[in-house]
Amino acid sequence: MEKPEYTIGVTALNAIDNPGPGIPVIRALREAKSFNVRIIGLSYESLEPGIYMHELVDKTYQIPYPSAGTDLLLERLEYIQDQEKMDVIIPNFDAELFSFIKLQPKLKAMGIHVFLPTPEQFEERLKVNLTEFGEKYDIPVPESEAIFSMDKIADIANDYDWPVLVKGKYYDASVVYNIEQARIAFNKISSKWGLPIIIQKFVHGTEYNITGLGDGKGNTIAAVPMRKQYITDIGKAWGGIAVSDDHLLELTRDFIAKTKWQGGFELELMKNKKGEFILLEINPRIPAWIYLAVGVGQNIPEALVNLALGKRVEPFKKYSVGKMFIRYSWDMMVELSEFEKISTTGEL
Amino acid sequence: MKIKNNIAVSDSGFVFNPATGESFSANPIGMEIMELLKKGTPTQEISNTILEKYETDAPTIDKDLHDFIQILKQYTLIEEHGKA
Amino acid sequence: MEKQRYERPMIKKLESNMPNKFGMRTEYRPMTHIDNVAVKDLIDEYGSPLFVISEKTIRNNIRSARKAFETRYPKVQFAWSYKTNYLDAVCRTFHQEGSWAEVVSGFEYDKALHNGVDGSKIIFNGPDKTEEDLNKAIKNNSLIHIDHLDELYAISEIAPGLNKKAQVAIRVNMDTGIYPMWDRFGFNYENGQAWDALNKIMRTDAMELVGLHTHIGTFMLSPNAYAVAAGKLADLAIGIKDKYGHEIKYIDMGGGFASKNKLKGTYLPGTDINPSVNDFAEAITGALINSNFKPDNLPLLILETGRALIDDAANLLGTVISNKRLSDGRRSTILDVGVNILFTSFWYDHKITPAQPFTQYAEDTVLYGPLCMNIDVIRENISLPLLNKGDHVVIQHVGAYNMTQWMQFITLRPRIVMIDPENNVHVIRERETLDRLLEFEKVPDHLKTFDL
């Protein structure tokens, strides 16, 4: 049977030292067995490497930052849609997810499908709501408290024992070892991201990550756990290994079943000394290390596209253990004229 | 005062300085002025050209031209010692 | 040959994190008209700066807010929050749409009477009600929302002398899970102050307890906080019914709904993330319907929504005075709009749109007002198209608080016009004049003359 060809828009082409998931997602789509693809890159900045990777990305358009508002984003996507007739868009940046979730009905009317968490799922898993999330779904999370005033730090930190994590509402976190450091972190993070600040109990242990895909009805379509082998200065995985842990998989299926999660996600977990898994964070999108999942037999981006298009997708039942990924960097040669083109016309 | 010889200004308004590796973007009037400067046109003549072509007045163009040239100097796109 | 539109020459370094301004022809569109009236004509005729209020937008806003509540709850009453914008033309538009008046001072109270609002449809809030104010309010059967015990005692002394029962409610403050918690107004729920005050009212003949009031904060982004508040007021009302067999007539949820403005420091624009009136309506009515009130005996629900109904109904037109280059190379633009008439620029990033066509080229700019005062900054950093001297801009969503909190400082305050639904323009407040201001002043005789 002839394979269909889909046109798919992908964001986060920043394959740099703190990489976005765009390029690995595109690699996965290019290896899809059920369809062929034409890839439309959607970029924010003109030096995102993916713009220039023509063997992976067929054409790139710049899109406005989420801070410009959904009206402008929609207007730009309408223009792009006139040229490209995209079937699916896979947004991969945290900061843009809200806009794409909000635009979902309008995109659908334009013929563009997405497969994203519902607004409620997106809201529930926010860092500030993690405690309630854990209670609601009976998933162990680290003790934490959202505070609006620095005076509260001392009380909480003394309850938790040092060190503690000081986290921003949306981004930023630092581990602090005494009250002075906590105050500095409180000021630094609150000046950037506002209040509240979250003080979280520090969980000692080994970090595990899971990427997966929920169909929105409570079924687990895919789930692959990974342990980071090597971590960069800024905490990103430089190498990681697929692991087999029934407990982790059980926990993931439980998470999907209870939340009826729709779309791709990544769970960040800590295994403490007692061997319990504590949920640290839920990222409502595909992670940058997604290619490991593809490499061990679960092509999550392919399945996500099929779900977005309303196709029946059989859950992945297994994956091969004992494979690892090692990231490397690569210096690409780029003609200045290409940089000129994306910079001045917003297209390449 | 003259735009440095090796500076390339493309039709899209993309300006590249091969000596420093910096690139810039100019709007159409900016490009027009850079082309004139490249030919060594005196600023008074540039003012007159712009004034003839666009809906504006002499004080405005004088002020804006002066400011533009200051910025070109700041970006080291202009040869300070060239002839005026 | 016809001359082309002039745009100042511009060159900009391409940084590695260069945003998408270049090649993005859709980034901005000019706002040339307001309700079909050309911005340029408005400024030519009425001067710059100029506040322009759209009557049509006000009516649409109040109608859709009423619809949001009335489709969810049987008895709803809006009361126009005078302090948000007490121009007579604005207040009367709301009164024509059925809104009562909500006032917080004797001055506002008198203004509501002057506008023709019946005393029994004026809600009197706030911590500062003089004896004279209370006298008037009791006589007129106005709804007095008691803020503190001293006021409660004052009413119990005044009312008997007037042979009237004062119609009262108390304002209740409470923890609704939001920060900051407003505990300076009214009586606290959690520590029992509110219950105590209610008992005091029930035990005197001077007052009739007709309602319960709360106002939990300002520019609220969490509808759920209103659900918590409504639930707590319902509990108090049920408590009074159980203890005294007395039924209150209304629950007043106050105001505080966020408008669509963008608060400074937030990442996504307010038009995208701020909850709609529907969201607030769902939270409040849901909480009341789920409370222990009998379904056939629900109290009247009063809302004092101000900002969310008026903010987007007004624009402020301004004109570019000059473009300047600062010492560090940054571009700055001076407008004739200062912070003295645009107070809200201290906490919002107002949307500012040129009123004439422009190209896709833009520059990062500091936007200053015309005052010879360092604080007069409308915006620290905004990416704007290349404006020329004399160009016009439209500053959007300025309807709430600016036309009440503004002050006469250095310059005279400008005109305010309203465009009616047939697109006719009416001056609703004249520009200030020197003569007008001098009427307030008196010069002692010995200071009348001098030699220089």
Q: How far from chain centre, in Å, is Cα B49?
A: 13
Provide the shortest C-alpha distance from residue B83 to chain A (in Å).
31
Q: Looking at the domain assignment, is residue A131 inside a domain?
A: no
**Tally of domains within chain A:** 3
Q: Kindly determine whether residue C14 and residue B25, on different chains, have CB atoms separated by under 8 Å.
A: yes
Compare CB distances from B27 to C7, C325, C329 and report the shortest one's residue: C7
Q: What is the pLDDT of residue C28?
A: 64
Cβ burial of C103 (10 Å; 0-12, 13-18, 19+) is buried
A233 and A288 part of one domain: yes
Parent domain of A16: 5-115+331-345
* Selection from C346, C384, C349 nearest residue C262 by Cα: C349
Give the integer Cα–Cα distance in Å for A326 and A241. Answer: 9
Q: Which long-range contacts (CB under 8 A, 24 or more apart) does A274-281 make?
A: A276/A140, A277/A140, A277/A208, A277/A247, A277/A248, A277/A251, A278/A140, A278/A141, A278/A142, A278/A203, A278/A205, A279/A130, A279/A134, A279/A139, A279/A140, A279/A141, A280/A141, A280/A142, A280/A203, A280/A207, A281/A127, A281/A130
Q: Looking at the domain assignment, is residue B84 inside a domain?
A: no
* Selection from C103, C233, C256, C124 nearest residue C182 by Cα: C256
Strand partners, A19: none
Distances (CA, A) of C51 to A80, C58, C337, C431: 38, 15, 10, 11
Instruction: Tell me the domains of chain C and their CATH numbers.
Output: 33-53+312-434 (2.40.37.10), 125-305 (3.20.20.10)
Q: Looking at the domain assignment, is residue A130 inside a domain?
A: no
Distances (CA, A) of C383 to B64, C362, C365, C395, C407: 19, 6, 6, 14, 28
* SS3 state at C122: strand
Q: Kindly determine whether residue C268 and residue A347, on different chains, have CB atoms separated by under 8 Å.
A: no
Q: Looking at the domain assignment, is residue A135 inside a domain?
A: no
Q: What is the pLDDT of residue C208?
A: 97
Q: Residue A1 — pLDDT band, cuts 50, 70, 90?
A: low
**Tally of domains within chain B:** 1
Cβ burial of A5 (10 Å; 0-12, 13-18, 19+) is exposed
Which amino acid is it at B71?
Answer: I
Q: Is omega for the bond preceding B28 within 30 degrees of 0, making it cis?
A: no
Q: What is the pLDDT of residue A282?
A: 92
| Spans of chain B, pLDDT less than 70 | 80-84
Preferred mutation among B71, B75, B76 to probe C, highest tally of C CBs within 10 A: B71
CATH code for the domain in which residue A224 is found: 3.30.470.20
CATH code for the domain in which residue A335 is found: 3.40.50.20
Q: Kindly determine whether residue C11 and residue B53, on different chains, have CB atoms separated by under 8 Å.
A: no
Q: Looking at the domain assignment, is residue B11 inside a domain?
A: yes
* SS3 state at A188: helix
* Selection from A297, A285, A287, A288 nearest residue A322 by Cα: A297
* R_g of chain A computed on alpha carbons: 21
Give the E-state strand segments of chain A in sequence order.
5-11, 36-43, 59-62, 88-90, 144-147, 164-167, 173-176, 197-201, 206-215, 220-231, 237-242, 262-271, 277-283, 324-326
CATH code for the domain in which residue A168 is found: 3.30.1490.20
Does A317 score more than 80 pLDDT?
yes
A84 and A148 part of one domain: no
Contact B7, B20 (CB under 8 A): no
A308 and A210 part of one domain: yes
Q: What is the pLDDT of residue C362?
A: 83
Parent domain of B7: 2-79
* Chain C adjacent subunits, 3+ CB pairs under 8 A: A, B
Distances (CA, A) of C50 to C43, C349, C357, C366: 7, 19, 20, 21
Q: Looking at the domain assignment, is residue A307 inside a domain?
A: yes
Strand order of the sheet with strand A36-43?
Answer: A59-62, A36-43, A5-11, A88-90
Answer whether C16 touches A (CB < 8 Å): yes
Give the integer Cα–Cα distance in Å for A242 and C309. Answer: 55
A86 and A155 part of one domain: no
Which amino acid is it at C190?
Answer: E
Q: Looking at the domain assignment, is residue B34 inside a domain?
A: yes
Strand partners, A39: A8
Two structure tokens written together for A336: 């200045």
* SS3 state at A87: coil
For residue C177, give the H/E element and its range.
none
- Residues of chain B in contact with residue C4, where contact means CB-CB under 8 angstroms, are 53-55
Q: What is the pLDDT along chain C (452 residues), one digit of tens a residue?
A: 688 889 899 998 887 554 443 334 335 689 999 999 999 999 999 999 999 999 999 999 999 999 999 999 999 999 999 999 999 999 999 999 999 999 999 999 999 999 999 999 999 999 999 999 999 999 999 999 999 999 999 999 999 999 999 999 999 999 988 777 888 999 999 999 999 999 999 999 999 999 999 999 888 888 999 999 999 999 999 999 999 999 999 999 999 999 888 888 777 788 888 899 999 999 999 999 999 999 888 999 999 999 999 999 999 999 999 999 898 888 899 999 999 999 999 989 999 999 998 887 888 899 999 999 999 999 988 888 889 999 999 999 999 999 999 999 999 999 999 999 999 999 999 999 999 999 999 999 999 999 99
Q: What is the dihedral of CA C120, C121, C127, C128, to 10 degrees?
A: -70
Contact A255, A125 (CB under 8 A): no
Q: Kindly determine whether residue A336 and residue B13, on different chains, have CB atoms separated by under 8 Å.
A: no
Answer whether B46 touches C (CB < 8 Å): no
Q: Looking at the domain assignment, is residue A138 inside a domain?
A: no
Q: Please spell the DSSP secondary structure of B50-70, one letter per residue.
A: HHHHEE--HHHHHHHHHHHHH
Strand partners, B15: B9, B24
Which comes out higher in pLDDT, residue A206 or C237?
C237
Across the range A133-142, mean pLDDT stands at 89
A239 and A307 part of one domain: yes
Q: Looking at the domain assignment, is residue A80 inside a domain?
A: yes
Preferred mutation among B9, B10, B17, B20 to probe A, highest tally of A CBs within 10 A: B10
Residue of C nearest to B64 (CA): C8
Q: Looking at the domain assignment, is residue A279 inside a domain?
A: yes
- Look up the ipTM and state it: 0.91
- Residues of chain A in contact with residue C22, where contact means CB-CB under 8 angstroms, are 343-346
Which comes out higher in pLDDT, residue A160 or B56?
B56
Give the integer Cα–Cα distance in Å for C325 and B70. Answer: 10
DSSP, res C3: P
Q: Kindly determine whether residue A70 and residue C272, on different chains, have CB atoms separated by under 8 Å.
A: yes
Provide the shortest C-alpha distance from residue B26 to chain A (in Å).
10
| Number of Cβ pairs < 8 A linking chain A and chain B | 17
Contact A278, A261 (CB under 8 A): no
Q: What is the pLDDT of residue B83?
A: 44
> What residues have CB less than 8 Å from A60, skipping those under 6 apart?
A13, A40, A41, A42, A43, A50, A51, A342, A347, A348
Give the E-state strand segments of C174-313 in sequence order.
187-188, 207-214, 250-252, 300-303
If one counts every other C-beta atom within 10 angstroms of the C-beta of residue C20, the result is 22
Distances (CA, A) of C427 to A60, A315, C359, C367, C431: 51, 68, 34, 28, 9
Q: What is the pLDDT of residue C23?
A: 36
Which residues of chain A approach chain C closer than 8 Å at the C-beta?
44-47, 62-72, 75-76, 79, 95, 98-99, 102, 148, 170, 194-196, 342-347
Count of CA atoms in the C-beta half-sphere (13 A) of C412:
15
* SS3 state at C83: helix
- Residues of chain C in contact with residue B54, where contact means CB-CB under 8 angstroms, are 3-6
For residue C78, give the H/E element and its range.
strand C76-81
Provide the shortest C-alpha distance from residue A120 to chain C (in Å).
14
Contact C31, C39 (CB under 8 A): yes
Q: Looking at the domain assignment, is residue B48 inside a domain?
A: yes
Q: Kindly determine whether residue C9 and residue B27, on different chains, have CB atoms separated by under 8 Å.
A: yes
Q: Regarding beta strands A277-283 and A262-271, do their DSSP bridges make them parallel or antiparallel, or are they unpaired?
A: antiparallel
- Residues of chain B in contact with residue C325, where contact means CB-CB under 8 angstroms, are 67, 70-71
Q: Please spell the DSSP secondary structure of C390-418, one letter per residue.
A: T-EEEE-S--SSHHHH---BSB----EEE
Q: Looking at the domain assignment, is residue B60 inside a domain?
A: yes
Q: Kindly determine whether residue A346 and residue C22, on different chains, have CB atoms separated by under 8 Å.
A: yes
